[in-house]
């Protein structure tokens, strides 16, 4: 999902393409996943 949002923000995809890909529920149409570096666990709530 984050990779798709990145493509949308960079202008590589328009909103229609983003909507079509997310509604299709096919991973093969998605953008590459976002890189894991820079992600961290901030809080855990039980």
Q: Give the tens place of pLDDT for each residue, 9-22.
A: 999 999 999 999 99
DSSP 28: G
Q: What are phi and psi of 17, to 5 degrees?
A: -60, -45
What confidence score (pLDDT) does residue 19 get? Answer: 94
How many residues in the chain?
46
Mutual angle of helices 2-10 and 15-24, in 10-degree steps: 160
Asked if 40 contacts 15 with a C-beta cutoff of 8 angstroms, the reply is no
Task: Tell me the average pLDDT across 33-44.
Answer: 84
pLDDT at 34 over 90: no
Residue with tokens 């949308």: 8
Report the predicted TM-score, pTM, of the whole model to 2 decimal places.
0.66
Q: Where are the domains of the chain?
A: 1-46
31 — pLDDT class (breaks 50, 70, 90): very high
């Amino acid at each position: 999902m984050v990779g798709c949002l990145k493509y949308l923000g960079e202008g590589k995809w328009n909103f229609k393409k983003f909507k079509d890909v997310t509604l299709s529920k096919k991973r093969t149409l998605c953008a590459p996943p976002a890189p894991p570096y820079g992600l961290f666990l901030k809080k855990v709530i039980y």
